[in-house]
Amino acid sequence: MSRIGQNLDALHVATRVAEQRSFAGAAHLLGLSASAVSKSVARLERQLGLKLFQRTTRSVRLTPAGEQLLSKSNQLLAEFDALLAEVSGDAAHVRGPLRISAPVTFGRRMIAPLIGCFLQAFPDIDVELDFTDRYVDLAAEPVDVAIRSGHLGDSSLVSRPVFRDPLVLVASRKHAIAQRQIDTIEALRGHKAVAFRNSRTGRNEPWRFAGNASFRPARAVAASDVESVLGLVIDGLGVAQVPLYLARPSLEQGRVIEILAGQRPEPIVYSTVYLDRRLLARTVRAFVDFLAEAWTG
């Protein structure tokens, strides 16, 4: 085996040790003996002249040098894998880790239900889901691809629109009498409301309508996650605006009704985003293509 190949194999082994925080765990994952894993890491440390791990009888911890080297190792290995596939033309077999980030509600409702089907198509991809509403820095955090909505405004990222979904104004059947009274945006005044509180700004989001019109209820019950907003609407606490993907089951079951359907705003665009690299990891490409096919056909 060439020296480059040996180094890449050793880096792969060391990366698995870092992820497992265990030489034995990495050995089990890789199908190697613990002794082979230990020798591979030791060779890499000798060649680098650096200690990558602090080892005790009970724990394995990365040294600062280990943290620096291994923080980018998965991407390096994925890019090398993509290079080999590009040169050889063999892209049939896709394997490796894939870390996906998405907003909490969108992730639960739209991403998680698709993962089983994705893994049927790509059984050797190891998926890790991170659902969070905070802004994830793909350059600084171990995330391969994220789902984001609206304007992205980051030139370091490549984006691909994969899903479009409108906001809908809804009320519960308990509040159904309001539906006959609300035929204009102005008629919303005075009605009970449930608002979405943006945790980043600390303010209630205004309701948006066609033609860039907007409306902010003067008084409203507020919740900082959109699933709770819909739940409060179902309980009869008032009118709210929520994504259609979230409201659709309740609309189909008759638990809520849509108000001002003709005033829907432009759909929100959801995109996959990933770092701008010449060689895109095949795991990322597989997932992005899968979502585009699942949602847009």
Q: Is 239 helix (H, G, I), strand (E, B) or coil?
A: strand
Q: Do 174 and 158 belong together in one domain? A: no
Q: Do 262 and 174 belong together in one domain? A: yes
Q: Is 12 helix (H, G, I), strand (E, B) or coil?
A: helix
Instruction: Tell me which amino acid residue 188 is.
Output: L
Q: What is the CATH number of the domain that holds 100?
A: 3.40.190.10
Distance CA 30, CA 41 (A): 14
Q: What is the CATH number of the domain that holds 46?
A: 1.10.10.10
Q: Do 221 and 240 belong together in one domain? A: yes
Distance CA 104, CA 132 (A): 5
Q: Is 227 helix (H, G, I), strand (E, B) or coil?
A: helix
Q: Do 262 and 171 belong together in one domain? A: yes
Q: Do 105 and 139 belong together in one domain? A: yes
Instruction: Encode the chain (297 residues) as per-residue pLDDT tens digits.
Output: 445 556 677 777 887 887 778 888 888 877 888 888 888 888 888 887 878 888 776 777 888 877 777 666 666 666 666 555 555 545 457 788 899 999 999 999 999 999 999 999 888 888 999 998 888 887 778 888 999 887 766 666 788 888 999 999 999 877 655 556 678 888 888 788 999 998 878 888 999 999 999 999 887 899 999 999 999 999 989 899 999 999 999 999 999 999 999 999 999 999 999 887 655 678 888 899 899 888 875
Q: Do 81 and 218 belong together in one domain? A: no
Q: Do 274 and 207 belong together in one domain? A: no
Last residue of a domain, one of 36, 51, 70: 70
Residue closest to 206 by CA, chosen among 240, 243, 253, 250:
240
pLDDT at residue number 214? 92
Q: Do 118 and 173 belong together in one domain? A: no
Please list the alpha-helical segments (H only) found in the chain: 3-20, 23-30, 34-48, 64-70, 73-88, 104-106, 112-121, 177-181, 226-234, 244-252, 282-296
Q: Do 127 and 262 belong together in one domain? A: no
pLDDT at residue number 279? 53
**Overall number of domains in the chain:** 3
Q: Do 177 and 262 belong together in one domain? A: yes
Q: Do 88 and 149 belong together in one domain? A: yes
Last residue of a domain, one of 70, 96, 127: 70
Burial code of 185-208, b = ≥16 C-beta within 10 A, e = fewer? Answer: beebeebbbbbbbeeeeeebbebb
pLDDT at residue number 67? 76
Domain range holding 114?
A: 75-164+269-296
Q: Do 65 and 114 belong together in one domain? A: no
